[in-house]
Amino acid sequence: MRPHLPVRLLFLAALSSVAGSAAAQAAADTTAVIRGVVYDSLITDAPLRGAEVWLEGTNRTARADAVGRFEFAGLRSGRYVLTFFHPVLDSAGLSAAPVVVSLEPGQSGSVVLTTPSPAAVHAALCPRDPAGSMGAVLALVREGVGGKPLGGVAVTAEWTAFTISGGGNRWEPRNTVARSDSSGRVLLCAVPTDVKVLIRGQAGVPSGMIALDLAGRAFGRVDLYLLERPATGTVIGIVRARNGGLISASTVAAVGTENSVQADAEGRFTFSSVAAGSRIFEARAIGFKPVQLQATVVPGGTSRLEFILGEPAQLLDPIAVAGSSYLATIGFDRRRKTAQGHFLDEEDIERSGATRTEEVFRTVPGVQLRPSGMGYVVEFQRGRGQITNPRLSNYCAPSYYVDGNYFPLPPNAAVTLPMVPAEILAIELYSNTSSAPLQYQRRDSGCGIILIWTRRGQPKLPR
């Protein structure tokens, strides 16, 4: 016979049973999990490391790991809204769309969080651009010393476009300009997506520059560092071949300036007193395709660069038809008929009997070759009456372009061009800047311009 229990004990036992049941229910209701990944579809096309993911309406956050993964464990069943933050979005003034996940007890949910797509951002920021044919670039303009935002800075994107019109085919310089706001943001619309563009800005001292290729994408973002006061830094580095070998006979130049240095026997180079800020440097060597690298030169500091040049270029067999078509495309044939210059084609170059590129110019009136070390300095004769000493100072060195790209040489330096005569399709010589094509006119080219077109510059034809 069971003993009679007091009513109080029965109540406590019932209460304990209810509490235990509630605790068990609560424990069973916090077993849901959300796992996911954050992906950057805007700029890198890669997982977005370090993104901070939020569960809206709670105090729960998670940080994406090196491969963009995150996890929220111990969740109750229900409906959750997820969003994330990352500096790449904040700097662009953009936000990610929230994602909703509904969970049942014990359920595991998977989710992918992404940045806005390039096309979506382009359409939102530049609605007047032709859809799918142009791109947008967001530049963040910063002071090169303290990194503070610089407002009111004019930033330009520059490129060269090939145009076809009734008057003939030609290359024309193009640009788009915008001014940075108080946060240093500047939006450049109508930027081509299929060619490299040069982005530059100036805040009172030598301009900073960045080269950008959107590579078919509709949106790009760059950091442009400028200086409000003059400051310089040092750039050191090395030039190697792809196989690891050192390239001693190489030239490294600061693009947009006349400054260049020669690498030593071990491929090393040093640039002293380089204007600080965003800079582009280019390495060239005979038989190699030029390579450009971007660098941020720190005032009073030292930046390091390593150039890796591709395998030596191989000479192609002459293809007269392809060469002629290429020369017509770049405007050589048209300029030969209408422009004021001296023009040499393959037959002229072959007849010169030259074994070195500079020797080709012996046949050109008004050009002299002055021996210098192991080579020659090529000089144009100035107009009569400009210089009183016709023996020496009546001549000066021209500027060079190879396949449309500016090729800097130190003043009064012997010519070291990256080709031999057999590689050259045509040469254009202009004794003064005004007679040269507009896109090749430089303020520092008062002594004339030489354009050299090589087989390496031809578009590759399908086999």
Least Cα distance to 437 among 448, 447, 426 occurs for 448
Render pLDDT for 322-366 as a digit per residue (tens, 0 to 9): 445 778 888 888 888 877 789 999 999 988 888 888 888 887 888
pLDDT at residue 10, rounded to an integer: 46
The pLDDT of residue 8 is 52
Residue 88 burial (CB count, 10 A): 17
432 and 368 both lie in a single domain: yes
Q: Which domain holds residue 265?
A: 232-309
CA distance 40 to 121: 13
pTM more than 0.85: no
In a domain, 406, yes or no: yes
Residue 333, domain member (yes or no): yes
Burial (CB < 10 A; 0-12, 13-18, 19+), residue 147, is: exposed
Asked if residue 130 and residue 82 are part of one domain, the reply reads no
Q: Are residues 170 and 203 in the same domain?
A: yes
The CA-CA-CA angle for residues 163, 137, 234, to 5°, reads 100
Residues 6+ apart with CB under 8 A from 59: none
User: Which pLDDT does position 318 carry in this prediction?
Assistant: 45
Within a domain: 14: no
Residue 172 lies in a domain: yes
- The total of structural domains in the chain comes to 4
Query: Does the pLDDT value for residue 395 go beyond 60?
Result: yes
Q: What CATH number does residue 200 fall under?
A: 2.60.40.1120
The answer to whether the CB of 171 falls within 8 A of the CB of 331 is yes
For β-strands 32-40 and 46-47, DSSP reports them as antiparallel
**Is the pLDDT at 400 greater than 80, yes or no?**
yes
**Tokens standing for 340?**
């004021």
Q: Do residues 168 and 202 both lie within one domain?
A: yes
- Judge whether residue 428 has pLDDT over 70: yes
- pLDDT value at 305 more than 90: yes
Range among 2-6, 27-31, 163-167, 327-331 with highest mean pLDDT value: 327-331
Across 316-437, the runs of DSSP E, i.e. the strands, are 342-345, 367-372, 375-381, 395-396, 399-402, 405-407, 424-430
Do the bridges between strand 250-254 and strand 277-285 make them parallel or antiparallel, or are there none, so unpaired? antiparallel
Which of 226, 258, 287 lies at the terminal end of a domain, its last residue? 226
* More confident of the two residues 462 and 275: 275
Angle CA(290)–CA(296)–CA(298) in degrees, nearest 5?
135
Q: Please give the DSSP secondary-structure letter assigned to residue 116.
A: P
Q: What is the mean pLDDT of the chain?
A: 79
Contacts 24+ apart (CB under 8 A), 459-462: 459/326, 461/322
Number of Cβ within 10 Å of residue 203's Cβ equals: 23
Q: What is the CA radius of gyration of the chain?
A: 32
By three-state DSSP, how is residue 346 classified?
helix
Pair 396, 386: CB distance under 8 Å: no
Least confident span in 23-32, 149-158, 421-430: 23-32
Going across the sheet that includes 52-55, the strands are 61-63, 52-55, 78-85, 99-103
> Comparing 17-21, 281-285, 423-427, which segment has the lowest mean pLDDT?
17-21
From 309, 338, 355, the end of a domain falls on: 309
Provide, rounded to the nearest whole percent, the portion of the chain with pLDDT above 70: 78
Whether residue 132 is predicted with pLDDT greater than 60 in this model: the reply is no
Q: Mean pLDDT, to the nearest integer, of 284-292?
A: 84
pLDDT band at 389 (very low <50, low <70, confident <90, very high): very low
Claim to verify: residue 328 and residue 436 sit in the same structural domain: yes
Residue 294 CA from chain centroid, whole number: 7
* 264 or 329, which is more confident: 264
Average pLDDT score over residue span 205-233: 85
- List the CATH number of the domain containing 429: 2.170.130.10
72, 91, 114 — which closes off a domain? 114
Q: Is the pLDDT of residue 168 over 60?
A: no
Q: How far apart are CA 351 and CA 363, in angstroms?
A: 10
The reply to whether 174 and 58 lie within a common domain is no
Higher pLDDT, 442 or 423: 423
Residue that wins the pLDDT comparison between 137 and 256: 137
Q: How far apart are CA 217 and CA 134, in angstroms?
A: 9
Give Cα 120 distance to the centre of its chain.
Answer: 22
